[in-house]
């Protein structure tokens, strides 16, 4: 079996086309502010994608790079952005430095400007079944599955990630669609014994090629959300060559979930701007 490659490009383009049309209807330029307190190749890559996506739909992106910040410095900046009526959306690039409370920083973002859907209020709404402001990466995975006609109802899904960015919100969104979901993480014992039972396997650890062909079942749908670098090249969690020989479908890295994640951010930005009118 050779897997069907699920490209994120057409899915992202459809989302961005709709966003552009809605921005034209708004009659003003939505403005996204990105707070970046931890530099990394992966973060820089995604920031560039966000800037390009904003340019594509007629929105504006402003980057705030802060070197070695204190928690109070980040919170103070966010509070200023909250007050600015010309700021329609705020993103805090994660992960933050270890000395900073991610929860406190995310709580400081105005719920109405929370483009990433990571404020505890928006996460709580998602858990309750309200997907009005979903986390962008989790929503991107759902969009990819829907776009390629993959119905999760009744299927066994394994997620290798338990973060608020991916694993936990995806658990909520997939179980609401009647999938049976198991969430794995760095402390999971014998990961292979879990992944090999998955009908849909989603991994987002950032460990390049963590998931090999021997860890998956025949016909699995492999959704790669991981971003790491090997010899300067963006690489996903799946060993693409071996996994694609057994999977029925697989998302590539780059070009899979990543572009859709960025497109979902833009979609959330348009929602924020619409609510600000």
pLDDT in tens, 143-189: 999 999 999 999 999 999 999 999 999 999 999 999 999 999 999 99
Say what the pTM is: 0.94
> Which has the closest alpha carbon to 256: 131, 116, 148, 172?
148
CA 211, CA 205: separation in Å to the nearest integer?
A: 10
* Amino acid 44: pLDDT: 80
Task: Please give the DSSP secondary-structure letter assigned to residue 31.
Answer: E
Rg (CA), the chain: 18
* Amino acid 111: pLDDT: 96
* Amino acid 204: pLDDT: 97
Helices (H), the chain: 9-26, 41-57, 71-83, 102-108, 120-127, 136-147, 167-175, 191-195, 240-243, 257-275
> Which has the closest alpha carbon to 243: 272, 274, 221?
221
Identify the bridge partners of residue 181 per DSSP, sorted by sequence position. 157
> Which has the closest alpha carbon to 132: 150, 109, 114, 157?
114
Burial zone of 98 (CB within 10 Å; 0-12 exposed, 13-18 middle, 19+ buried): exposed
Assigned CATH for 135-256 = 3.40.50.720
Q: Which residue carries 């006609």 as its tokens?
A: 149
> Which has the closest alpha carbon to 260: 119, 92, 135?
135
Enzyme catalytic residues: 50, 93, 116
Is 47 within 8 Å of 34 (Cβ atoms)? yes
* Amino acid 2: pLDDT: 81
Tokens of 142: 């759902």
* Amino acid 38: pLDDT: 80
* Amino acid 261: pLDDT: 96
List the chain residues with pLDDT less than 70: 1, 39-42
Tokens of 233: 């090249």
* Amino acid 231: pLDDT: 87
* Amino acid 20: pLDDT: 97
Q: Do domains 27-112 and 135-256 have the same CATH topology?
A: yes
* Amino acid 205: pLDDT: 96
pLDDT tens for 127-153 read 999 999 999 999 999 999 999 999 999
What are the residue boundaries of the structural domains of the chain, listed by start? 27-112, 135-256
CA 1, CA 218: separation in Å to the nearest integer?
A: 8
Domain boundaries 27-112, CATH class: alpha beta
Is 253 within 8 Å of 207 (Cβ atoms)? no
222 to 139, 146, 168, 236: CA distances (angstroms): 16, 14, 18, 11
């Amino acid at each position: 079996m050779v897997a069907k490659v699920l490209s994120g490009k057409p899915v992202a383009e459809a989302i961005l086309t709709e966003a552009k049309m809605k921005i034209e209807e708004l009659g003003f330029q939505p403005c996204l502010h990105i707070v970046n307190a931890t530099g990394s190749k992966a973060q820089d890559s995604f920031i560039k994608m966000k800037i390009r996506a904003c340019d594509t739909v007629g929105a504006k992106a402003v980057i705030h790079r802060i070197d070695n910040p204190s928690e109070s410095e980040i919170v103070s900046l966010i509070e200023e952005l909250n007050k600015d009526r010309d700021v329609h959306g705020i993103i805090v690039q994660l992960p933050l430095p270890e000395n900073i409370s991610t929860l406190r920083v995310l709580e400081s973002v105005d719920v109405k400007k929370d483009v990433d859907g990571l404020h505890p209020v928006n996460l709580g709404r998602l858990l309750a079944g309200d997907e009005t402001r979903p986390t962008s990466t989790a929503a991107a995975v759902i969009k990819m599955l829907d776009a390629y006609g993959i119905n999760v109802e009744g299927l066994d899904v394994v997620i290798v990630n338990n973060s608020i960015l991916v694993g936990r919100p995806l658990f909520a969104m997939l179980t609401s669609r009647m999938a049976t979901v198991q969430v794995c993480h760095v402390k999971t014992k014998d990961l292979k014994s879990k992944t090999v039972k998955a009908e849909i396997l989603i991994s987002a650890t950032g460990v390049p090629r963590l998931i090999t062909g021997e860890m998956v079942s025949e016909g699995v749908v492999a959704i790669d959300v991981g971003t790491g670098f090997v010899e300067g090249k963006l690489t996903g969690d799946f060993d693409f060559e071996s996994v694609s020989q057994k999977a029925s479908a697989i998302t590539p890295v780059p070009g899979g979930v990543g572009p859709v994640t960025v497109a979902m951010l833009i979609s959330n930005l348009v929602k924020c701007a619409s609510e600000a009118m």
